[in-house]
Amino acid sequence: MATNHHPAAEPRVDIVDPSAYTPPYDHALCAALARAGASVRLQTSRFAYGPVPAADGYERVERFYRRGAGAAGSRQRYVAKLAQHVPDMVRYARAAADVVHFQWLTVQPIDGVLMPRGRPLVLTAHDVLPREPRRGQLAAQRRLYERVDAVVVHSEHGRSRLVGALDVDPGKVHVIGHGAFEHLTRVPGALALPAELAAVEKPVVLCFGLLRPYKGIDVLLEAWRGLDLDAELWIVGNPRMDISALRASAPPSVRWVPRFVRDDEIAAYFHRADLVVLPYREIDQSGVLFTALAFGAPLLLSAVGGFPEVGAQGAAALVAPGDPSALAAELGRLLGDSDARAALAAGAASAARGRYSWDAIARRHLDLYATLQRSS
Q: What is the pLDDT of residue 270?
A: 98
Domain residue ranges in the chain:
7-179+357-375, 191-353
Residue 6 scores a pLDDT above 70: no
What single string gives the DSSP state of each residue in 255-269? EEE-S---HHHHHHH
Evaluate whether 292 touches 276 at the Cβ level (below 8 Å). yes
Residue 222 scores a pLDDT above 80: yes
pLDDT tier for residue 8 given thresholds of 50, 70 and 90: very low
- Is residue 199 helix, strand or coil? coil
Pairing status of strand 254-257 against strand 232-236? parallel
Query: Which tens digits make up the pLDDT trace of 10-60?
Result: 789 999 999 999 999 999 999 999 999 999 999 999 998 889 999 999 999
Helix axes 338-353, 287-294, angle to 10 degrees: 100
Residue 9 scores a pLDDT above 80: no
Distance, CA of 140 to CA of 106 (rounded, Å): 12
One-letter identity of residue 353? R
Top pLDDT among 218 and 135 is at 218
pLDDT tier for residue 77 given thresholds of 50, 70 and 90: confident
Query: Which tens digits make up the pLDDT trace of 117-175?
Result: 999 999 999 988 767 667 777 888 889 999 999 999 999 999 999 999 889 999 999 99
Distance of CA 222 to the CA centre of its chain: 26
Average pLDDT over the chain reads 93
- Which of these, 283, 260, 275, 284, lies nearest to 345 by C-alpha position? 275
Length of the chain: 376
- Which of these, 287, 227, 297, lies nearest to 263 by C-alpha position? 287
pLDDT tier for residue 71 given thresholds of 50, 70 and 90: low
Q: Do domains 7-179+357-375 and 191-353 have the same CATH topology?
A: yes
Distance, CA of 103 to CA of 163 (rounded, Å): 19
Q: What is the CATH number of domain 7-179+357-375?
A: 3.40.50.2000
Distance, CA of 313 to CA of 311 (rounded, Å): 5
DSSP label at residue 273: -
Query: Helix, strand, coil: what percent of the chain each, to 5?
Result: 45, 15, 40
Question: Where is 123: in which H helix or E strand?
Answer: strand 121-124
Q: What is the dihedral of CA 31, 294, 180, 305, to 10 degrees?
A: -160
Helix axes 358-375, 23-35, angle to 10 degrees: 70
Which residues face 279 on adjacent strands? none
Cβ neighbors of 75 (< 8 A, separation 6 or more) are none
pLDDT tier for residue 332 given thresholds of 50, 70 and 90: very high
Cβ neighbors of 362 (< 8 A, separation 6 or more) are 29, 32, 33, 35, 36, 38
Residue 307 scores a pLDDT above 80: yes
Residue 3 scores a pLDDT above 60: no
Cβ neighbors of 348 (< 8 A, separation 6 or more) are 292, 293, 295, 296, 297, 298, 299, 315, 316
Range 303-312 average pLDDT: 96
- Determine the topology of domain 191-353 in CATH: Rossmann fold (3.40.50)
Per residue in 263-287, is it b (16+ CB within 10 Å) or e — as a string? bebbbbbbebbbbbbbbbbebbbbb
Question: Where is 124: in which H helix or E strand?
Answer: strand 121-124
Range 184-210 average pLDDT: 97
Beta-strand (E) ranges in 209-295?
232-236, 254-257, 275-278
pLDDT tier for residue 75 given thresholds of 50, 70 and 90: confident
Range 238-260 average pLDDT: 97
Evaluate whether 298 touches 344 at the Cβ level (below 8 Å). yes
